[in-house]
Structure 1
Amino acid sequence: MTIRVTWKRLVAALATLAAAGLLFAWSGIFNIAASSGHWAVTEWFLHWTMRNSVKTHSFFDSPADPIAHDGAMVSAAGHFAAACATCHGAPGQRPSPVMQQAMPPAPDLSVNAKQWTDKQLFYILRHGVKYSGMPAWGGKGRDDEIRRMVAFVRRLPVMSAAEYRLLSGGATGAGTTDARALAGATLAGCVACHGADGRGRGQPDIPVLGGQRAGYLEAALAAYADGRRQSAVMGNVAAVLTPAQRRALAAHFAAMPGLGAAPGRDARARLIVERGLPERQLPACASCHAPGKPQPVLAGQRAVYLAERLRHWRGDEKIVDARQPQQVMPVIARRIPEEMIEPLARYLAGE
């Protein structure tokens, strides 16, 4: 018996298969329980698809040099300890048994990270993975944070438990404070990256908080908490703070010594700080940031941190005017000559 294939029969067969699939989905027979696991072929297919997708998209979507210097990993380690270790585990710390019951469970990065290139890790961290529980990066436009996390994850396979505790702040004391105003764990979360003295544990990418204006610090924490200021690291921390805790933390660090160092010696940078560049419509930095002014203290701040922030603002070309307070710095930063970013940052840092 010969069955003749025609277009009508082919379309009818495809429609029947589609209808059967919809009927199966509608029936609820398919078990979506995480405890049921996947068939081996299903698990292979999903992972194969994910790997191919990451390889393809990371080729076009990730920067050519997506890894930061190994010396700037404290903030990444602190964020990993707060947001990632529960699922993935860490050196000397097993993942949460509860989170390991997810389907799929989060991989052990001390092993899994070796299977990916730096560009692929960057892509996964930036965009996350659908249907896996792996979220996209929590701070839009913060590729600098992702670079540091790539460096940290790359280091995990050879990292000892002692090194992890040191980087993530587990071996750092919280210092003294009013226990009624700050819970120990709350302050310890800040100290893990910023240090008990508020000076950033010597890390070039972590700002000095000691001596900063309390009002500015409190406003910054509020902006991180509601998403007006983007940072996966700070957003994760600030989101759980109450207004009273934000106020107490701001007062705690503002009362410490730290900022206010003498300026550097670069004459060109001094001109921008004190007088600005009228021909470029660039106002003097001191017009907003001098002592007694409402904006944050810059004198004595980390040069690397200042330069990174200025370059981040320069890239925000969607903002074309400076009528709103949060729109001022992107416009101002683009008026600073590119060759003056580093000298200006070093001058303000007192170098």
Structure 2
Amino acid sequence: FLHWTMRNSVRTHAAFTVPDDPKANEGLVSAAGLFKASCASCHGAPGVRPLPVMQAATPPAPNLSINAREWTDKQIFWILKHGVKYTGMPGWAAKDRDDEVRRMVAFVRLLPEMSPATYRSLTEVPGIADARIATCAGCHGADGRGRGQPDMPVLGGQSPAYLRAALEAYATGKRQSAVMANAAATLTPEDMTRLADHFAALPGVGRATPLGSTAAARIDRDGLPKVQLPACSSCHAPGKPYPVLAGQRASYIAQRLRNWRGDETVVDARKSQSTMPVIARRIPEDMIDPLAQYLAGR
């Protein structure tokens, strides 16, 4: 009876509350990394058995290589975001990160046909002896350039202080990301310092040629005073304690700006009033991609 009720509840909620684009096929590496760290112990993975203690739960976690076929993309999205009551299935561990949920929907959808070799290629970077660095490199790459994934930032060239502060913010929930919160939660302060120093020392951001429109250049230099949008370069400039954007992946910058903007159907007064969400909402929608391209190439 409980399972029947759950299935009906998921069908109903998914039909009326889930966005029409519940799956994102790009950025599977970060979804695979989170699945390996948080999901495989219960559900197993291609070539990986679930832990026996998790299969002894009531009810046991389903084998997604089989059960994923039973649900639509919208239904998987709803389950991932909200969890399943009276089971061990948690909801998504970060607010306002539907982009992460969409990537996990795409990953789960691929599990029935995924080979162990493909799974390993998504979750591992061979040849790294240091276990902590290897875990980070699984998503960020050995070179800190994000393995070519559109949702992954370039870490090389950022300041060690900024990267360490980012890890602390993810670990404490000040920055929202289920992927990074999971990764940062187990790190000691010494781990954070060592990892920040390692990835900051790699080549990456800071070397680029300007691209994009003159309007984007103007926003970077002067902002948009009429809508109280400050100049990007007033903070993102050499010597200031903010991330370096020159050489960053344009797709990542654009995605973060859109995440900060939030749901367009919600009034600003009910959205985050932190610095970057407020700034992102003042950028005209049609300028986000040109501005991201300009900043990445600056």
TM range (shorter): over 0.9
Partner Cα distance (2:270, 2:290) in 1: 25
Equivalent in the alignment of 1:132: 87
Are residue 315 (structure 1) and residue 262 (structure 2) matched? yes
CA contact (8 A) 1:210 1:255 kept: yes
Match of 2:56 in 1: 101
1:210 aligns with: 156
**1:83: which partner in 2?**
38
Whole-angstrom CA distance in 1 between matches of 2:32 and 2:114: 11
Name the amino acid aligned to 2:70: Q
Question: For residue 56 of structure 1, what is the aligned residue in structure 2?
Answer: 12
Q: Quote how far apart the aligned CAs of 1:349 are.
A: 1.8
Structure 1 distance, partners of 2:272, 2:229, is 13
Aligned to 1:188: 134
Report how far residue 99 of structure 1 moved: 1.2
Distance 1:321 1:293 in 2: 24
Partner of 1:150: 105
- Give the drift of 1:318: 4.3
Instruction: Name the larger-Rg structure.
Output: 1
AA of the residue aligned to 2:41: T
Report Cα offsets for 1:83-105 as digits up to 9, x if no partner.
00011000011111121111111
What pairs up with 1:13-52 in 2 under 5 angstroms? 45-52=1-8
Correspondent of 1:285 among 232, 239, 254: 232
Matched, 1:294 2:241: yes
Matched, 1:65 2:21: yes
Structure 1 residue aligned with 2:168: 222
CA deviation after TM superposition for structure 1 residue 265, in Å: 3.9
RMSD over equivalenced CA pairs, Å: 1.6
Among residues 254, 278, 283, which one is paired with 1:331 in the alignment?
278
- Alignment-derived partner of residue 118 in structure 1: 73
Paired AA for residue 292 in structure 1: G
Report the secondary structure of 2:52's partner residue: coil
- The corresponding residue for 1:250 is 196
The answer (yes or no) to whether the contact 2:210–2:297 under 8 Å persists in 1 is: yes
C-alpha displacement of 1:277:
1.5
The residue aligned with 1:40 is none
- Cα distance per residue 1:117-156 (max 9 Å; x no partner): 0000000000000111000000111000000000000000
TM-score, normalised to structure 1, is: 0.81
Q: In structure 1, what is the Cα distance between the partners aligned to 2:219 and 2:159?
A: 23
User: How far does residue 218 in structure 1 lie from its aligned partner after superposition?
Assistant: 0.5
Q: Is the 8 A contact 1:300 1:350 kept in 2?
A: yes
Comparing 109-118 and 58-67, the one that deviates more: 58-67
Residue among 156, 160, 179 paired with 2:115: 160
State which of 172, 176, 183 in structure 2 corresponds to 1:237.
Answer: 183
Matched residue count: 293
How far is 1:240 from its partner? Answer: 0.6
The sequence identity of aligned pairs, in percent, is: 66
Spell out structure 1 runs of 4+ moving beyond 4 A.
Answer: 318-322
Do the aligned partners of 1:87 and 1:96 also contact (CA within 8 Å) in 2?
yes
- In 1, Cα distance between the equivalents of 2:228 and 2:87? 49
Mapped to 2, the partners of 1:172 and 1:191 lie a distance apart of 9
What displacement does 1:321 show?
Answer: 9.1
Aligned residue identity for 1:231:
S
Question: How far is 1:264 from its partner?
Answer: 1.2
CA contact (8 A) 1:208 1:258 kept: yes
Is 1:273 the equivalent of 2:220?
Answer: yes
Return 5+ residue gaps in structure 2 as ranges: none
Q: Would the aligned equivalents of 1:173 and 1:191 in 2 still touch at CA under 8 Å?
A: no
Q: Supply the distance in 2 between the matched residues of 1:309 and 1:251 (Cα, whole angstroms).
A: 24
Deviates more, 1:261-270 or 1:216-225: 261-270
SS at match of 2:168: helix
The answer to whether the Cα contact below 8 Å between 1:172 and 1:195 also exists between their aligned partners in 2 is no
Residue 172 of structure 1 contacts residue 191 of structure 1 at CA under 8 Å; is this kept in 2? no
Q: 1:259 aligns with which of 181, 199, 205?
A: 205
Give the deviation of 1:350 after TM superposition. 1.8
